[in-house]
């Protein structure tokens, strides 16, 4: 059962969304807000020929769990946001405000069990999930799909290093010079005032303030402070985050957590679909291949939610 909804955390930025409900609603059902990864993504989290959030919503509905997904603010209002915020944009305006409003919408729905509303974050959404909960999400639990407890700078630099290794030797020297320049830009952020950071473009449309603000709210702080049930999952062929530096670091940081569960899926990529090439340089070609989320992943998420 699908219903069109509007998520309005900011009156200037109403967002189209979809509430997907199980066909049977004899009792109030658990529900999940789906929070996107990086970039201007639609409600399905469409990446080339894949639709991760649509797959999750359809699969979880069959398992008796409702979901709410919506277009990301930067997807619908990209130019308007650049004009209004410029270098002042942070994850608060881009992600967190809308996610918290979506949680409240689910809690107010009479068909949803208000005490069993969860947040499922993918990639950047998974990274921010503990912060969203701490800032007022008041969630029953967190599902972290291919997230990272590291800073974005660390992940970006690692991805660049991996990409360099896949280049021809003649191209590597030029690429290493470019990565060193990026490293120097990242290193300079710490010494910037808020004003200077809001005026300094790092790469593309990303300003230094975007990263500096995130560092002022360390991901690991929220992670180790939460007592909410957490499910951390990742594919072992994910080339955008690392088993050693991300998945295992989650394990280490949450080793004393009373209710943390970890699952690593063999052969799956960053979108929890079958890895075809398994290299960063071919990742966009891989995402051009129409695939769906492996059913075991959906079933495991549903089983975990029911058990909480």
> Angle at CA 291, nearest 5°, toward 288 and 293?
130
Model's pTM, two decimal places? 0.95
123 among known catalytic residues: yes
Active-site choice (123, 133, 158, 242) = 123
Measured distance between the N- and C-terminal CA atoms of the chain, rounded to whole angstroms: 24
242-264 per-position pLDDT tens digit: 999 999 999 999 999 999 999 99
CA distance 2 to 33: 15
Q: Are 32 and 65 in contact (CB under 8 A)?
A: yes
Angle subtended by helix axes 52-62 and 295-307, to nearest 10: 50
With cut-offs at 50, 70 and 90, classify the pLDDT of residue 169: confident
Angle subtended by helix axes 124-132 and 97-108, to nearest 10: 70
Give the HSE-up count for residue 207: Cα atoms under 13 Å, Cβ half-sphere. 20
Q: Are 66 and 111 in contact (CB under 8 A)?
A: yes
With cut-offs at 50, 70 and 90, classify the pLDDT of residue 165: confident
How many angstroms separate the Cα of 28 from the Cα of each of 7, 107, 226? 21, 11, 26
Nearest to 229 by CA among 195, 197, 254: 254
Active-site choice (38, 122, 133, 270) = 270
Give the HSE-up count for residue 243: Cα atoms under 13 Å, Cβ half-sphere. 11
Nearest to 34 by CA among 69, 75, 7: 69
Active-site choice (42, 44, 98, 238) = 238
Contacts of 294 (CB under 8 A, 6+ apart): 265, 268, 272, 273, 274
Assess whether pLDDT exceeds 90 at residue 168. Answer: no
CA distance 299 to 301: 5
The mean pLDDT value of the chain amounts to 94
More confident residue, 174 or 96: 96
Q: 3-class DSSP state for residue 197?
A: helix
Long-range contacts of 195-199 (CB under 8 A, 24+ apart): 197/87, 198/86, 198/87, 198/88, 199/87
Nearest to 5 by CA among 75, 81, 109: 109
Helices and strands in the chain: count of H runs, count of E runs: 14, 12
- State the pLDDT at residue 102: 98
73-129 per-position pLDDT tens digit: 999 999 999 889 999 999 999 999 999 999 999 999 999 999 999 999 999 999 999
With cut-offs at 50, 70 and 90, classify the pLDDT of residue 170: confident
Q: Catalogue all structural domains in the chain, each as residue range(s) with its CATH number.
A: 2-150+218-307 (3.40.50.1820)
Q: 3-class DSSP state for residue 229?
A: coil
- State the pLDDT at residue 101: 97
Assess whether pLDDT exceeds 90 at residue 176. Answer: no
Give the HSE-up count for residue 185: Cα atoms under 13 Å, Cβ half-sphere. 19
**How large is the C-alpha radius of gyration of the chain?**
19
CA distance 120 to 251: 18
Give the tokens for residue 125: 């959404």
């Amino acid at each position: 059962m699908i219903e069109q909804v509007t998520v309005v955390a900011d009156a200037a930025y109403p967002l189209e969304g979809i509430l997907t409900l199980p066909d049977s609603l004899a009792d109030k059902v658990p529900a999940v807000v789906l929070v996107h990864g990086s970039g201007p993504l639609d409600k399905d989290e469409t990446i080339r020929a894949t639709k991760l959030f649509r797959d999750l919503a359809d699969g979880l509905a069959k398992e008796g769990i409702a979901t709410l997904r919506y277009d990301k603010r930067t997807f619908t209002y990209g130019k308007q946001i650049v004009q209004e915020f410029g270098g002042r944009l942070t994850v608060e305006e881009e992600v967190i405000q809308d996610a918290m409003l979506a949680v409240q919408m689910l809690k107010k729905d009479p068909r949803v069990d208000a005490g069993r509303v969860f947040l499922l974050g993918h990639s950047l959404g998974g990274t921010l999930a503990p912060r969203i909960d701490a800032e007022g999400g008041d969630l029953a639990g967190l599902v972290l799909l291919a997230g990272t407890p590291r800073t974005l700078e660390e992940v970006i630099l690692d991805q660049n290093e991996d990409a360099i290794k896949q280049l021809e030797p003649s191209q590597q020297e030029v690429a290493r010079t470019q990565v060193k320049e990026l490293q120097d830009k990242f290193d300079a952020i710490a010494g910037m005032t808020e004003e200077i950071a809001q005026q300094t473009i790092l790469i593309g449309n990303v300003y230094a303030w975007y990263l500096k603000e995130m560092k002022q709210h360390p991901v690991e702080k929220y992670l180790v402070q939460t007592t909410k049930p957490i499910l951390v999952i990742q594919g072992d062929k994910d080339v955008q985050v690392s088993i050693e530096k991300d998945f295992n670091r989650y394990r280490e940081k949450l080793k004393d957590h009373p209710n943390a569960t970890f699952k690593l899926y063999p052969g799956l990529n960053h979108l929890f679909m079958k890895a075809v090439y398994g290299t960063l340089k071919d990742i966009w070609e891989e995402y051009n291949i129409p695939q769906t989320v492996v059913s075991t992943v959906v079933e495991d998420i549903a089983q975990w939610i029911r058990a909480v």
